[in-house]
Amino acid sequence: MTAAGGTGRTVRDATLDVLREFGLTTLFTNPGSTEIPFLTDLPDDIRPVLALHEGSVVGMATGWAIARGGPALVQLHTTAGLGNAVGALATARANRAPLVVLVGQQDRRHLATEPFLAGRLRGLAGDYPVGTDEPATAQDVPGAVARAHHAAVHGRGPALVIVPVDDWARPAADGAERAAASRVARGAAADPSGPAEIAALIDTAAAPALVTGAGTDTGDGWAALVALAERIGAPVHQESFGARAGFPQDHPLFAGILPADRPGLRAALAGHDAVVAVGAPVFRQYMFAEGPLVEPGTRLALLTDDPAEAHRSPVELAVLGPLPAALRAVTERVRAREPRPSAGEDRPGAQAAAAPPAGGGGPLPPAHVFAELARRARPDTVIVEETPSSRPDLHRHLPARRPLGFLSAAMGGLGFALPGAIGVRMARPDRPVIAVVGDGSCLYQVQALWSAAHYRAGVLVAVLSNGCYAVMDRLAERAGGKPSWPPFEEVSVAALARGLGCTARRVTTHAELTDALDAILPALHDRRDPVLLDIAVATDASFQP
């Protein structure tokens, strides 16, 4: 491509240099006409990854960014592409995944007349982007992309840059000052006054407890939180509906997943006169129930690196700072004490329980599937979950034993786990990856299987097929009625997978399950091609969302 009216460097050339500068050389996309000038004849060092729906594009990029520990690059097609991706962008924001998102727009020269494909793009994704930039001139596109990188990394979410189609061929502003920093560094030290106050609150408590979540799901985060928990002998709870495990769930001090309702939450934290949340909201709930979050007399504090989380939490003290450094500062100041006798006892998720009986014929219990997975999965396996009606069983049988051991959609919308698992495997080929999804969840982004097959992302997709939306059925029953929507038992996920180029197998018995897992799990770490198991499971009538 040459600059319009000349042979010099173009805005596209300058933008490609910015992408190289920040390591944004893998591009997740589902292209349209407004993206053609950028995507045609990409240089060899820019790797395009095609997905067949924008939800898959953003889901794969989100998994990639989380697993890689750095930003991912996305390109979307004007209104239709951005509109299709909004739910996935909301998940990326809630999952703290930094994404630099290029959004195509019609030609600047006739935007005022709202031509075909012109998009009213600013605001289309609501408040979910951490930044939205519409460069005033074509020459500011490279700077806008650099600023989006900084916004995505430090705001920990998707940052959008809207680029009209004709901008790419415009002459670059060579020699002009770029309105973006080359490097932005976040301070590594925590203000000592905040950790000192957290330590003082813990020291004055008779029975402190800790709650954690996605914010400490790193090697440094796990080590720092383990050191604090062991020093004060406090149980560590995982936030409800947590998207990532912030503490080793096979540790003796792990106390399980907090309930997502206020009565259950109060009961779980009863007996603790101080609760400090670390890298987790205070407190994530589902259905509203009357009453306070905790019993009267329980003091609440928060240690977080997320300003919005700090500002909205109903706590007496919120300390904002880099988590590993702040945790180490608290540990240095707090007095040591022995673990409470009850800490870690009967904790759910602490270890894989024995498999329940398979029974005579018929569908398998989901817990049985999880127990068989747990018997064979390596400790460094990444479990990417989207099976709402059986999630409690998954936590009980498949604890996270390494950082990035568990990943789910913090926003709660369906369609993340399948593309997310593919993105994780592409970014971290050194880790085995298992996506555990319901058949209803799988159908939201089943197109992602084509990308897994084409790019040889060797994930195992374990689909728990009960032919219905079990959570919705239970909610209808709780409301005193019955579902007005039909089941979809005639859908064959295995057939859909094979049609998208993915190896698939239907599993209906215990013997078929163990045979399949024995064949797949030992070699999953080195597997290059995806495989899907369509497992017939029973609907747990006792589950209550």
Annotated domain spans of the chain: 11-169, 193-333, 366-536
- Predicted local distance difference test score (pLDDT) of residue 314: 86
Strands 382-386 and 317-320: unpaired
- Predicted local distance difference test score (pLDDT) of residue 357: 57
User: Looking at the predicted structure, is the pLDDT value of residue 304 above 80?
Assistant: yes
Could you list the beta-strand ranges (E) of 96-157.
99-105, 131-133
> Which of 304-308, 479-483, 520-524 has maximum average pLDDT?
520-524
User: Looking at the predicted structure, is the pLDDT value of residue 185 above 90?
Assistant: no
Is it true that 193-333 and 366-536 share their CATH fold?
Answer: yes
CA angle 474, 480, 483 (to 5 degrees): 50
- Predicted local distance difference test score (pLDDT) of residue 188: 59
User: Looking at the predicted structure, is the pLDDT value of residue 233 above 80?
Assistant: yes
User: Looking at the predicted structure, is the pLDDT value of residue 72 above 80?
Assistant: yes
Mean pLDDT (the chain) is 88
Check: CB of residue 64 under 8 Å from CB of residue 99. no
- Predicted local distance difference test score (pLDDT) of residue 220: 95
CA dist., res. 138 & res. 128, Å (int): 25
**Is 1 in a helix, a strand, or coil?**
coil
User: Looking at the predicted structure, is the pLDDT value of residue 24 above 80?
Assistant: yes
> Which of 145-154, 188-197, 332-341 has maximum average pLDDT?
145-154
Average pLDDT of the segment spanning 173-198? 75
- Predicted local distance difference test score (pLDDT) of residue 283: 86
- Predicted local distance difference test score (pLDDT) of residue 544: 52
CA dist., res. 52 & res. 396, Å (int): 35
CA dist., res. 398 & res. 418, Å (int): 18
For the chain, give the percent of residues with pLDDT over 90: 64
CATH assignment of 11-169?
Answer: 3.40.50.970
Query: Which residues neighbour 385 within 8 Å (Cβ) at sequence distance 6 or greater?
Result: 391, 394, 406, 407, 408, 417, 435, 436, 437
Phi, psi of 540 (to 5 degrees): -80, 100
Q: Regarding predicted confidence, which is higher, 100 or 412?
A: 100
Q: Regarding predicted confidence, which is higher, 466 or 19?
A: 19
The correct CATH number of 366-536 out of 3.40.50.970, 1.10.240.10, 3.20.20.140, 3.40.50.150 is 3.40.50.970
Check: CB of residue 404 under 8 Å from CB of residue 67. yes
- Predicted local distance difference test score (pLDDT) of residue 83: 94
- Predicted local distance difference test score (pLDDT) of residue 231: 96
User: Looking at the predicted structure, is the pLDDT value of residue 285 above 90?
Assistant: no
Q: Which residue has the tokens 């060899």?
A: 44
**Burial status of residue 335 (CB atoms within 10 A of its CB: 0-12, 13-18, 19 or more):** exposed
Cα dihedral 218, 220, 222, 224 in deg (nearest 10): -150
185-194, 246-255, 431-440: lowest mean pLDDT where? 185-194
Residue 351 — very low, low, confident or very high, per pLDDT cuts 50/70/90? very low
Q: Regarding predicted confidence, which is higher, 467 or 49?
A: 49
Angle between helices 54-68 and 417-427 (to 10 degrees): 40
- Predicted local distance difference test score (pLDDT) of residue 346: 44
**Is 74 in a helix, a strand, or coil?**
strand
Classified by CATH at the fold level, domain 193-333 comes out as: Rossmann fold (3.40.50)
Give the residue among 180, 187, 134 at the shortest CA–CA distance from 19.
180
User: Looking at the predicted structure, is the pLDDT value of residue 360 above 80?
Assistant: no
- Predicted local distance difference test score (pLDDT) of residue 485: 63
Average pLDDT of the segment spanning 134-148? 93
CA dist., res. 174 & res. 247, Å (int): 49
Give the residue among 503, 433, 414, 450 at the shortest CA–CA distance from 59.
414
User: Looking at the predicted structure, is the pLDDT value of residue 432 above 50?
Assistant: yes
- Predicted local distance difference test score (pLDDT) of residue 250: 92
User: Looking at the predicted structure, is the pLDDT value of residue 354 above 60?
Assistant: no
Check: CB of residue 276 under 8 Å from CB of residue 203. no
User: Looking at the predicted structure, is the pLDDT value of residue 287 above 50?
Assistant: yes
Could you list the beta-strand ranges (E) of 279-322.
299-304, 317-320
- Predicted local distance difference test score (pLDDT) of residue 350: 43
CA dist., res. 122 & res. 125, Å (int): 8
Q: Which residue has the tokens 């004849």?
A: 41
